[in-house]
Structure 1
Amino acid sequence: MLHFELVTPEKLIRSEEVYMVVVPGTEGDFGVLEGHAPVMSTIRDGAIEVYATQGAVPEHIIVSGGFAEVNASGLTVLAEQAG
Structure 2
Amino acid sequence: MALHFELVTPERLVRSEEVHMVVVPGTDGDFSVLEGHAPFMSTIRDGALSIYRTKDGAAETLPIRGGFAEVNATGLTVLAEQLS
Normalized against structure 1, the TM-score is what?
Answer: 0.98
Deviation, 1:47, is 0.2
Q: Which residue of 1 aligns with 2:66?
A: 65
Give the aligned residue type for 1:3: H
Percent identical residues: 71
Instruction: Detail structure 1 runs of 4+ shifted over 2 Å in the superposition.
Output: none
How far off is 1:55 after superposition?
Answer: 1.5
Which structure 2 residues correspond to residues 28-67 of structure 1 after superposition, within 5 A? Answer: 28-67=29-68
Please report how far the alpha carbon of residue 30 of structure 1 lies from its aligned counterpart in structure 2 after TM superposition.
Answer: 0.2
List alignment gaps of at least 5 residues for structure 1: none
Amino acid at match of 1:36: H
Aligned to 1:2: 3
Q: TM-score, normalised by structure 2?
A: 0.97
Superposed displacement of residue 82, structure 1: 1.5
Q: Unmatched 5+ residue regions in structure 2?
A: none
- Give, as a single letter, the amino acid of the residue that structure 1 aligns with 2:38: A
Query: 2:14 corresponds to which residue?
Result: 13
